[in-house]
Amino acid sequence: MAEGRLAGKNALVTGAGSGIGKAISVLFGREGAKVMAADINEEAASSVAAQIEDSGDEARSLRADTSSEDEVRAAIGAVVDAWGRIDILVNNAGIGGQQYTWDQVIAVNQSGVFYGCLHGLAQMQKQGGGAIVNTASMAGLIGAFVPGFPGGFGYAYIAAKHGVLGLTKQFGLDGAPHNVRVNAICPGWIDTPLIAPLKEAQPMLDWAVQNTPMGRLGRAEEIAKAALFLASDDSSFMTGAYLVVDGGYTAR
C-alpha cells in the first residue's frame, strides 16, 4: 500500500493539465493518492498522469470540460468506477484574461465549481465522507486597483471567484453533518501559463511583483502544499473556510 499523507485516498483534480492543477496532481500522487487528472485539454491531462506514473505513483486521466454539468458528473463517476469511491475533489479548472467573455468565465470559474461541489458532495455523502478543495483566488476577496485598467482582474473573474467562496461556505455547511469538508484556496499572483499575458507586459508584471509584499510571484508547488493540507486529515476541523496564499498581497 502507498505511503504518504493521502495514502489510500482517491482524488479527482480538474484543470490538472497545467500550472496549479498539475502541481497538485503530482504532489497528491507523491503523497499516496490515486489521481484522476482531468482537463479540457486531454493531451495535457494524459501527460500529467504519465508523469505521475513514471514516478511510481498511480494515476489516470480523462477529458472533462467543467463548464458542462454532465462532464463534471461523469468525471466523478469515472473515479468511482475506477477505484470504488472519491475521497478528494479539487475544483481547480479556471480561465482568465481579456480574451474570454463574461459568460465563458462564469461558466468555467463559477458554474464549474458549483457542479463539482454539487455532485461531489452527493457522492461523498453516499459513501460517508470526503474533502472538496476549490481553487478560488485573492480575486475572491478583493478587487484590484490597477491604474488605467478599469475592471482590475476582470469583472467576471472577480465575480466568479467571490462566488466560489460563497459556494465553499454553503457547501461546507451542507457537507458538515455528512463528514464532507469543503474549503478553498486563495492564491495571489502565481507563475503559471494563466498569467502569461501579464508576463508579456513588463510594467504589469512589475506592478504585480511590487504590490506583493514578498516581492516575487508564487510557485504552483506552493499552492499545491496548501491543497494537500486541505485535502488531508491535517485539516480535519476545517470546513467552509479558505486559506490565503498570496505573499502578503491582501494583507496590505
- Residue 208 CB, shortest distance to ligand NAD, in Å, is 9
Q: Does residue 226 touch ligand NAD according to CB under 6 A?
A: no
Residue 242 annotated among the catalytic residues of the structure: no
* Minimum distance, C-beta of residue 128 to ligand NAD, in the bound complex (Å): 28
Q: Which is nearer to ligand NAD, 6 or 194 (CB)?
A: 194
Cα gap 15→185, rounded to integer Å? 15
**Residue 17 interacting with ligand NAD (CB under 6 A):** yes
Measured from the CB atom, is 38 or 131 closer to ligand NAD?
38
72 touching ligand NAD, by CB under 6 A: no
Which residues are bridge partners to 181 per DSSP? Answer: 131
Catalytic residue among 115, 157, 242, 249: 157
Instruction: Count Cα neighbours of 233 within 13 Å in the Cβ-side half-sphere.
Output: 8
Task: Quote the cell numbers at residue 134.
Answer: 476549490
- 108 scored as a contact of ligand NAD (CB under 6 A): yes
Q: Please identify, using beta-carbon distances, which residue of 51 and 179 lies nearer to ligand NAD.
A: 51
Total residues at interface with ligand NAD (CB under 6 A) = 30
- Which phi and psi (to 5°) does residue 126 adopt? -65, -40
d(CA 165, CA 140): 7
The least CB distance from residue 74 to ligand NAD, in Å, is 12
CA–CA separation, 58 vs 52, rounded Å?
A: 7
The set of cell numbers assigned to 193 is 501559463
Least separation in angstroms between CB 206 and ligand NAD: 16
- Which of 25, 168, 192, 232 binds ligand NAD (CB under 6 A)? It is 192
Stretch that binds ligand NAD, among 27-35, 73-81, 173-181, 192-200 (CB under 6 A): 192-200
Please select the residue that binds ligand NAD; options are 93, 121, 226, 228, rule is CB under 6 A. 93
How many angstroms separate the CA atoms of 23 and 146, rounded? 29
List the one residue out of 61, 66, 50, 53 whose CA is nearest residue 11: 61
How would you list the strands of the sheet with 130-135, edge to edge? 59-63, 34-39, 10-14, 88-91, 130-135, 180-187, 242-245
Is residue 110 within the footprint of ligand NAD (CB under 6 A)? no
Q: Which residues are catalytic?
A: 157
